[in-house]
Amino acid sequence: MKFGSIALGAALVLSTSMPLMAGKADDTLNWATDKEVAVVDPFFSVTREMVIMGHMGWDGLVLFNNETGEFDPLLATDWEWKSNTVIEFDLRDDVVFHDGTTFDADDVVYTINFLADASNGVPAQSVVNWMKGATKLGQYKVRLELKEPFANAFAYLANEIMIMPDGFYDDAPVGPDGTRDLSAVTPTGTGPYKVADIKNGDYVHWDKNDDYFAGGPKGTPEIGHINFRAIKESNTQLAELMTGGLDWAWDVPKEQAERLEQTGRVTVFNEKTLRIAYLTFDVSGTSGEPFFTDQKVRQAFGYAINRDAIADQLVGRPAEVIHSACHPDQFACTQDVTKYDYDPEKAKALLAEAGYPDGFEFDFYGYRQREVAEAIIGDLSAVGIKAKLNWLQYSSLLERIQDGRAPVSFMTWGSSSIADVAAITSHFFMGGPDDPAKDPRTAEALARGDTSIDPEVRKEAYAEALGIIANEAYWLPLFSYAKYYAFSNDLEFTPTPDEIPRLYSATWK
């Protein structure tokens, strides 16, 4: 934190001696995060940055309205549930893709059937595996069939199922391992912005789509250009924000956000989100470090880490400690589970019972918020557990976790901004590649919850699964996130609690 304060202080001094060169002057909203975007595709890149850009460049059938809590028509104009597993949609007839082709039912059918086919390898299968397929009923009418009743169908249609042109992936070159090279395919959607230039892992430039259809819930784009850059150092981001190189940033560390706000040179917001932080353990021991196959060791981590202090001092309220593998604001996310309150002596006792009275050394992995990872390491060190920090890009870390090569990882999950347990617990504990435990008890309970449309049945099933996860300490839930935004005083922008910044609707003052 000391280094961050010094670096920010230097930026503040610099900003008083240089004129601001805000993006308003050339009608370009410049924004950055510390994460690379390797593939500009909303299905094959699961970073939050791509979620934001996914809504800029693509449209789904519907869009969630944060103010009303309802789903607004987007590419669809109307729909009707024909049964618990069949929905028929009427589509807009005035939409054009960025490449000039017209949108119709063929595009919807192609996209949904592509996603529903597991052999196509969409990484987040829980986002798409509830769909059986789609059928064309007319040029502007489609039928969507679900595999089973699914309470969150429209939530996923709104946040995740972006419509691609018919045949979009067919020409992607395939490597010897069968993997599609999506970087060789030009991103094409119907959204309010279209890709102008890409340097994979470095930047993505977007231009306003002047042909975007009128009268939709996303409105009409006003800012001419929105440019994203990957800037790994938070201090560099903030220095550019103060000197006019950037117009928008988020995930600003609490102390720095407070200092920025005091200057009056930028606007600062702190907004709660549906994102949570957690530790995931190598429960099976495949990483070669066997410590975490022992339930007592995993539980010891829960007692050793002062999660409340981290949430308060490093994240900022309204962040709060959580005890279940979900966000407290999500449907059916009970917190009535086994809790691990901060108690270093209890942690030491559990380690001794597990056969490690003097602690042990292990490899600890992370990809974001290094200051939080370092605070966790400090708390573990106090009870004799020595962590070697390994810092990776998200995609590399995810691959390592799924391959069973990461003993402990500090991770986060935003649930695709869906306020339902199915968007997180079911993703991680139903036996898929992200499941650290492969416990059939959690998989069975979650399946019961996911396939029922009865709220009470769902609550009971999810409570059972969450209780098992907490008791076994397959995860250590840490805290919910509040996110600091900092942006140019020239920019009109409103943060939302679903953690999907609507940059496409931002305007200049």
- Domains belonging to the chain, first-starting first, are 35-229 (3.40.190.10), 273-482 (3.10.105.10)
Sign of CA dihedral 385, 388, 392, 398: negative
Residues 6 or more apart from 345 whose CB is under 8 A from it?
Answer: none
Do the beta carbons of residue 168 and residue 122 sit within 8 Å?
no
Specify the DSSP element, H or E, that contains 299: helix 295-304
Do the beta carbons of residue 142 and residue 80 sit within 8 Å?
no
What are residue 303's phi and psi, to 5 degrees? -80, -25
Q: For the segment 421-446, what is each residue's pLDDT rounded down to a tens digit?
A: 999 999 999 999 999 999 999 999 99
CA angle at 451 for the pair 43 and 496, rounded to the nearest 5°: 50
Per-residue buried b or exposed e for 40-77, using 16+ beta carbons within 10 Å of the residue's own CB: bbbbbbbbbbbbbbbbbbbbbbbbbeeeeeebebbbbe
What are residue 481's phi and psi, to 5 degrees? -100, 140
Q: Provide the pLDDT for residue 15.
A: 42
Q: Locate tokens 């992370």: which residue? A: 366
DSSP 209-278: -TTPPSSSTT----SSEEEEEE---HHHHHHHHHHTS-SEEE---HHHHHHHHHHTSEEEEEEEEEEEEE
Q: For the segment 159-205, what is each residue's pLDDT rounded down to a tens digit?
A: 999 999 999 999 888 878 777 777 678 999 999 999 999 998 899 99
How far is the CA of 443 from the CAs of 51, 454, 465, in angstroms?
Answer: 27, 19, 8
Q: Provide the pLDDT for residue 183.
A: 67
- In which residue ranges of the chain is pLDDT below 50? 1-22
d(CA 57, CA 28): 16
CA 96, chain centre distance (Å): 28
Q: Provide the pLDDT for residue 7.
A: 44
Helix boundaries (H) for 117-177: 125-128, 153-159
Per-residue buried b or exposed e for 355-370, using 16+ beta carbons within 10 Å of the residue's own CB: ebeebbebbbbbbbbe
Q: Which amino acid is at 332?
A: A
Specify the DSSP element, H or E, that contains 137: strand 131-138
CA angle at 377 for the pair 415 and 8, rounded to the nearest 5°: 80
Bond before 19 cis per omega within 30 degrees:
no
Specify the DSSP element, H or E, that contains 456: helix 455-472
Do the beta carbons of residue 479 and residue 322 sit within 8 Å?
yes
Nearest to 24 by CA among 503, 497, 505, 489: 489
What is the four-CA torsion angle of 428, 430, 435, 438, rounded to 10 degrees?
Answer: 150
d(CA 180, CA 172): 6
User: Would you call 321 helix, strand, or coil by DSSP?
Assistant: strand
Q: Provide the pLDDT for residue 66.
A: 84
